[in-house]
A = this chain, B = another copy of it.
Amino acid sequence: MGLIPRENEFFVYFEKIAQNVVEGAKALHDLMTDFTNVPEKAKKVLDLEHEGDILTHEIIDLLNRTFITPLDREDIHGLVMDLDDILDLSEEVADRLVMYRVTAPEAGAVKLVEIVLASAEEVSKAINGLRNLKRSRRVLDHCIEINRLENEGDRYSREALASLLNDTTDALKVIKWKEILETLEKAIDKCEDVAKVIENVVVKNT
């Protein structure tokens, strides 16, 4: 009797956390595509990251209090940590844009933020599908799309760095953007890590 409500609780948390990751990516995208009120917009990403920390704390607490879990304990832990990392890295990008006093975006970084946002949305859809693994085909399709986005991001990132290196003589600018591009790439990689855990969950449960 008590099993199903608690099972539901986990999925409610997953969905909230994933939605919050999407909100964080959107806030970063807003900042990167319109460089006005930068500190304010960066603050919004930071607030969402704090919201994510609270949700993470709550679901880990629930995990520690629950004997029978709807997914393997280590998979729940892995998913939660990876989702948290996506938001942490998004916040790190926003923070660097402020601290490096960036005044205009680089084209390559804008493309990468678009990929972060698209990946986060696919992550959220895949997470929403965990409730009903009978439709696992759809869940796996979102995972495939996340992988495709990661490859695309990898290519954009290499090209963006090469463009910077070839087109500017300002080495300090290159160092700043290289750091930002790498942080964006890590956020995209974390989305791929989420997809790997989900694929694994699907394989074990179908």
Contact = CB atoms under 8 A, between A and B. Distances in A.
Contacts of A165: 100, 172, 175-176
A172 B172 CA distance: 9
Contacts of A159: 99
Indicate the size class of the contact surface on chain A.
20 to 34
A99 B108 CA distance: 15
Interface string A143-179: 0000000000000001101100110010110111011
Contact of A169 (B166, B169, B172, B179): B172
A96 interface: yes
Give the one of A159, A162, A166, A174 with max B CB within 10 A: A162
A81 B162 CA distance: 27
A135 interface: no
Interface in A97-113: 99-101
Contacts of A174: 172, 175
Most interface-central of A95, A101, A161 (chain B CB within 10 A): A161
Nearest to A172: B171
A96 B158 contact: yes
Contact of A100 (B96, B100, B166, B171): B166
A162 B158 CA distance: 23
A166 B178 CA distance: 15
**Most chain B CB within a 10 A radius of its CB, from A95, A100, A165:** A165
